[in-house]
Structure 1
Amino acid sequence: MDTYFISRWKSQIKKGLLEYIIMLILKTKPCYGYELIADINRLAGMEIAEGTIYPLLNRLKKENLLKSEWIEKEVGIPRKYYQLTPEGIEQLKVMQNYMESLNESITQLMNIK
């Protein structure tokens, strides 16, 4: 088995899904960057670094799919919380429809004998 091939393949899948996973998490609640990293690690089993997530969050903001707001809690430092914009919610619906269709297609392909 070619472990380099599998490792590279997994990496490409993760890169392609990261934007979708971030938007799915933000659909449920506003999050700050480190919280998003922890949720992605816990919920999706993907280890990502701060150097990966912040450029992606900034790009999604520039595309008007996310907005951010600095919030100061009673305890601790102020944090920048990200949440979906109305345009982001609509884009996520399109992405979800595509992922459902893709999943059905892959399931059919896997069951070919």
Structure 2
Amino acid sequence: MVERLDATFHALADPTRRGMLASLALGEKSIGELAAPYAMSFAGAAKHVKVLEGAGLIARRRSGRTQLCALRPGPLAEAEQWLRQWERFWNLRLDRLEALIAAEKEQPE
């Protein structure tokens, strides 16, 4: 699972790939359609698609001469699950900080 998380976070580290995933959340798209908002070549977009596919975040299929991509949300759910442990960690620390601040305000000067 650690290797898959590494691949997921590596793929998500690039804003272009995050944008492509957001686009795929609306439905299946061709590589050309994924490239269009970024004014990049097909080859450039294909490199991003390869990273996303390697991380398991998308599935690619052929329809005639067109390569279509679809979102695979499983790895995102795993990343969210991993991040939740840190959410609990920070919530606990922030709750303690809030209690300390409240206690300090209640003390007379």
Counterparts in 2 of 1:17-36, with a 5 A limit?
Answer: 17-36=15-34
Matches within 5 A, 1:1-113: 16-38=14-36, 40=37, 46-72=38-64, 78-88=65-75, 90=77
State the AA in 2 paired with 1:82. C
Q: What CA distance in whole angstroms lies between the structure 2 residues aligned with 1:92 and 1:37? A: 25
RMSD: 2.6
Distance 1:35 1:19 in 2: 13
Cα shift at 1:93: 7.1
Q: State how many pairs are aligned.
A: 69
Q: 1:90 to 1:54 in 2, by over 3 A?
A: same
TM-score (norm 2): 0.52
> Unpaired segments of 5 or more residues in structure 1?
1-14, 41-45, 73-77, 95-113
Q: 4+ residue runs of structure 1 moved beyond 2 angstroms?
A: 88-94
Measure, in 2, the Cα distance between the counterparts of 1:92 and 1:36: 23
TM-score between both structures, scaled by the size of structure 1: 0.51
In 1, Cα distance between equivalents of 2:51 and 2:75? 12
Task: Describe the superposition over 1:50-98 as per-residue Cα deviations: whole angstroms up to 9, x where unpaired.
Answer: 23210110111111011011124xxxxx31100111325537979xxxx
